[in-house]
Structure 1
Amino acid sequence: MSVTNVAGHKLEAASVRTTIQEMKTTQHAPICAYIYDLQALTSHVRQCVQSLPEQSKLFYAIKANSDETILRTLAPLVHGFEVASLGEIIKVRAISKEIPILFGGPGKTEAELQGALEYGVQLIHVESIHELNKLNDLASHKGILVPVLLRVNLKGPLPQATLSMGGRPTQFGIDESLLPQVMERIRDFPHIEVQGFHFHSLSNHLDASQHVKLVQYYCRIAQQWSEQYGIPLRYVNAGGGIGVNYAHLEDQFDWFTFVRELGVLLESELESSTTLLFECGRYLTSSSGYYATEVLDIKSNHATNYAIVRGGTHHFRLPVSWQHSHPFEVIEVEVWPYSYERPQVIDSAITIAGQLCTPKDILAKDVVLPSLRVGDVLLFQYAGAYGWAISHHDFLSHPHPQHIYLN
C-alpha cells in the first residue's frame, strides 16, 4: 500500500483539484488515491464531542475506517474507540495503551474474549447466554470481575433506516422476549458485572429529532429494566446509527438539533449516575475522505455509455454494497500527451465502472454529465467511511490506491 503525507494543506474543493492536477504532472500512472483531510476531520469530530451534553460520551466505531493515521488523529479527540474483533483491539492498542475500548459484535471467540481481558477493554457487549458462559469461565480463571453491557434486540417499533439490526430477526443481540430468562441466570455468573444495556438497532439514520426519540426509548426501557432486575444502571449505550445522506449531500443529519434536543432529554430521562454512550463511525469520518480515480476508457455498449476508471469496487465497495450511485465531481485534466484521439461524451448519461471482471463493479449509474473525457479524474465525495475498509483489495491483484493525508 502506498502512503503519502502532504503537509500544510487544507482540503477544500480548490485544494483537492490542485492536488490532483499536481499528481497528473508528477506521475505517469493513472491516478487512483484515497485523499483524507485531517484538518477537516479534526474540526468536525472535535465539534461533535464538545457539543454533546455533559452526561454523554462519544466513541469512534473503527469498523468505519481503521486506518492508522485516522486512528491517531481521532485518539486525542474522542472518549474512546469501539471495536468488533481482537484484530481491531490490537490496532487500537498500537495507537494507545490507555484509551478506553468498547468491544461488541456477535460470535466472539474465546481468543477474542481472552484478548479483551488482557488488553484492558473497558466494556464488553454480550450478545447471548453462551457468550456470558464463555466470558464468565475465562474471568474465573483470572479471578476477576468483568464489566459488561447486555446487547438487546428490541421488539420495536423502530424508525426506518438504511440498515436495521433490531426490531426484526437478526443475528445481533439478545431477543427482548428472552431477557427475563437471561436475568434469572445472571446470578450464575459471579465473575460478570452487568453495568447497563447496549442498543444498536439501526444504521444510517438521517432524522435528528427521530433519533433523539429513539435514544429516549432506549433510556426509558433501560431504566425500567434496571429497576425491575435490581441492576445499577451505569451506562446506556445508544450505539451508532447516525447517517450520511449520499443522495443529497447538502441535506445531512442535523447534529446541532440532535444535541440540543438530547440535552433536554437527558435532564428529564436519565439519572445523573448514568452515562449515555454513542459509538459513531460513518458520521465522524465519511465527509473528510475522498476517492479519486482516473478515467481509462469511454465506450458505448447496447446504447449505454460507460466510463471505465482506474480502480473500482475492490477499492471502494460502498456503492455496490448499498446499491446506490455514489456522488462525485469531475476534475477536468486538460493535458493529453498522445497523438491519437481522446474519447469523450458530451451532455450524456454515463455509468461509472471499475476494472473488475464482473458487471457488478459499478460506482455510479446513468449520471448525466455535461462532458467527460478519458484522462479526467472523478472525485468521489464522502468516501472516508466504509470505503477502503470494507473492500476486497486483492481481487484480480490490481495495485492498491495511494493514501494521501492532507494536514
Structure 2
Amino acid sequence: MPEADDLARRLIAENFPRRDGAIRVGGLDPSDLARTHGTPLFVYDAALMRRAYRALSRAVAGFAAVDYSVKANPCPAVIRVFADEGAGAEIASGAEFAAALAAGVAPGKILFAGPGKSNADLDRVVAGGIGEIHLENAEEMARVAAAAARHGRRAAVAIRVNPGPDAQGGAMRMGGKPSPFGFDEEDLDSVVDRVEAEPNLDLTGLHLFAGTQGLSAAVLLGQWAYGLRLASRVAARIGRPLDTVDLGGGLGIPYFAGDVPLDLEAIRAGIPALRATVAADPGLAGARIVLEPGRHLVGPAGLYVARVRAVKISRGQRFVITDGGMHHHLAASGNLGQIVKRDYPVVAVLEAEAAVRTPCAVVGPLCTPLDMLARAALLPDLAAGDLVAVLQSGAYGLTASPTGFLSHPLPAEILVDGGQATAIGPWRSGADR
C-alpha cells in the first residue's frame, strides 16, 4: 500500500504538480474543465506527450526513428501531436489509417499491422499509398497481392515474425509461443520465398514485436538485437537490402506498486552496439529502423477524471461511488488483460497537504462487481461532488472500453496545450465509414 501511494505521489510531482491543493494539467485545474465539459472526462497534456517523444528519440538517436502506435489513443488531435514531431504512424485498421491521414501523417509514413485485415481495409490503404503492409499469415499474403493487382500496384510489404522463445519479454508476451500474430520464425525462409514469388508484392521489410509493457532496458535491447539478426537473414536471402526494420513498440510505463520506470539512460547506453551492427551489415545499413510505441508516449499524459456520487461503508469497507467506470476505462478496472487485478494510481483532484489517506474501493455506476477502478486506493475523506483522477490514462482508455454497456453517455476528451483546453472527442473508431 505505501508503494502504491509512493507511485501516485511521484507521478503527480512529475506530471501534474499541485497548486493550492489541486493537481494541474498543463497549468489548468481539472475542476474547471469538469465544470465546462462535465464528467467523466479524459484530459491529455500535449506537453507531456512531446516530452516523452523527445526523450525516447534522444535515447535511440542514430539508431531508430520513433513512430506512434495509433491503437494506444486514436484521437486525430493526439496523433497530430506526434506527427508534428516528425513521427510516422503504425495502424491496425482502415479507420486508424483515416485518423492518421486526418492528423497530417503522410501515407508513406504509415505501417499497417494486425492479424485479420479486411479486404475493404486493404483496398483502402493500397489505394491510399500506404508505406508498408505487414503480412501476418498466408491467406493475408494472397489478399494483399490481390488488392495490389486490383489497383495496378506493387504493394510494399514486411513479414511479421512470431519469434522464438529467446526473444520473449514484457508483461504480455507476444512471441515464443503459438500465436495469431505473424509467421513462426522457423518458417521464415519459406515465407520469404513465397512473398518473393508474388509479382504484386515488394518485400521491403521485417516486423518483430515480441512483447508489450516492457520495463526492462536489457530485455528491450536484447529483442532489438534479435530483430536485427532476423532482418539480416531476410536481406541475405533476397539478395538486396531491406528498406525498413520495425522492431515494434512494447515500451512500458509504471502502473502498479513496485513498477520501475523504463531506464532511458540504459537504453541510450546500449544503442552504440546496435548502431554498429547495422552499419556493418550491407543488408541493413540503408534501412529505416523503426520503433512504434504507443502507451509509453501517451499513457502518462492522460487523466480520467470522475465525480463522486456517493460514499458508503459496507461491512467495514469504504466505497467511493463515481460517475466513471469500466465502460470508459476498462484497463483501469483490470478487465483488459490483467490476471491478478491491481490498482492504477488514483488520486483526489483536490487534497489538503496534511490530509489523512485511508484505503477505499473506487467503483463506477454500473450494476456489475467488475466495475471497480481501484480496490484499495489511498484517498482522503471524500464526499459527493468531489473529483478523483485515474493517472496513467492516456493510452487504452475510451476506445479500448465497452462504451455501449448500460448505455451511459460518452465522456468528453480534452487536449490541453499551451494553457488552452480543446475538446477533441469522444472520437469513435470506425465512425467515418
TM norm. shorter chain > 0.5? yes
Structure 1: 5+ residue stretches without partners: 1-9, 335-344
Pick one of 90, 101, 112 that aligns with 2:110. 101
Q: CA deviation at 1:249?
A: 8.4
User: Equivalents in 2 of 1:222, 1:117: separation in Å?
Assistant: 24
- Counterpart of 1:184 in structure 2 is 193
SS at match of 2:329: coil
Question: Aligned equivalents of 2:159 and 2:31: distance in 1?
Answer: 51
Partner amino acid, structure 1, of 2:164? K
What residue number does 2:397 align with?
387
Equivalent residue in structure 1 for 2:74, among 66, 77, 96: 66
Secondary structure of the 2:165 match is coil
Cα shift at 1:79: 2.7
Report what 1:297 is aligned to. 310
Deviation at 1:346, TM superposition (A): 7.0
Which of residues 171, 176, 181 in structure 2 aligns to 1:172?
A: 181
**Aligned counterparts of 1:219 and 1:333: Cα–Cα separation in 2:** 49
Which structure 2 residues correspond to residues 288-327 of structure 1 after superposition, within 5 A? 288-319=301-332, 320=334, 321=336, 322=338, 323-327=341-345
CA contact (8 A) 1:194 1:231 kept: no
> Counterpart of 1:262 in 2: which secondary structure?
helix
**Residue matched to 1:328:** 346
Quick one: which of 199, 221, 237 aligns to 2:246? 237
- Of structures 1 and 2, the larger Rg is shown by 1
Q: CA deviation at 1:283?
A: 0.3
Kept after mapping to 2: 8 A contact 1:197/1:222: yes
Deviations 1:134-159 (A, max 9, x none): 11122223332211110010112234
Equivalent residue, structure 2, for 1:211? 220
* Structure 1 contact 333–375 (Cα < 8 Å) conserved: no
1:85 aligns with 2:93: yes
Q: Which amino acid aligns with 2:72?
A: A
Indicate conservation of the 8 Å contact 2:168/2:210, yes or no: no
What's 1:161 paired with? 170
Residue 409 of structure 2 corresponds to 399
2:276 matches 1:267: yes
Residue 134 of structure 2: aligned partner:
125
Aligned equivalents of 1:43 and 1:154: distance in 2?
A: 32
The alpha-carbon deviation at position 382 of structure 1 amounts to: 1.1
> Where do 4+ consecutive residues of structure 1 move more than 4 Å?
none
- What's the CA shift for 1:116? 1.0
Which residue in the other structure is 1:148 paired with? 157
Partner of 1:371, secondary structure, is coil
Q: Give the corresponding residue for 2:229.
A: 220
8 Å CA contact retained: 1:333, 1:377: no
Q: Secondary structure at the match of 1:106?
A: coil
Deviation readout 1:234-265 (Å, 9 max, x if unpaired)? 22210100001111488311123213312332
Deviations 1:208-236 (A, max 9, x none): 12211110111112212322443532222
Query: Which position in structure 1 is the counterpart of 2:11?
Result: none
Matched to 2:96, the amino acid is: E
13, 24, 30: which one pairs with 2:18?
13
| Native 8 Å contact 1:31 1:377 kept in 2 | no
Indicate how the Cα distance of structure 1 residues 228 and 30 shifts in structure 2: closer, same or farther if over 3 A, else same.
Answer: closer
Residues 21, 55 of structure 1: alpha-carbon distance in 2 compared, 3 angstrom cutoff? closer
Q: Is the 8 A contact 1:34 1:403 kept in 2?
A: yes
CA distance in 2, matches of 1:156, 1:249: 26
Deviation by residue 1:299-351 (Cα, 9 ceiling, x = unmatched): 233443211111101111112223321102113379xxxxxxxxxx9754211
1:32 to 34, 40, 47: 40
Unmatched tracts of structure 2, length 5 or more = 1-14, 418-433
**Secondary structure in 2 matching 1:114:** helix
Give the TM-score taking structure 2 as reference length: 0.82
Mapped partners of 2:271, 2:120: distance in 1: 38
Residue 207 of structure 1 deviates from its aligned partner by 0.5
Q: Are 1:276 and 2:289 matched, yes or no?
A: yes
Of 92-101 and 213-222, the range deviating more from structure 2: 92-101
What is the alpha-carbon distance in structure 2 between the residues aligned to residue 234 and residue 310 of structure 1? Answer: 49
Contact 2:207/2:246, CA 8 A, preserved across alignment: yes
| Deviation for aligned residue 1:30 | 6.8
Match of 1:197 in 2: 206
Q: Aligned to 2:166, what secondary structure does the other structure show?
A: coil
Deviates more, 1:288-297 or 1:244-253: 244-253
* TM-score, normalising length: structure 1: 0.87
Please give the alpha-carbon distance, in whole angstroms, between the structure 1 residues aligned to 2:86 and 2:33: 33
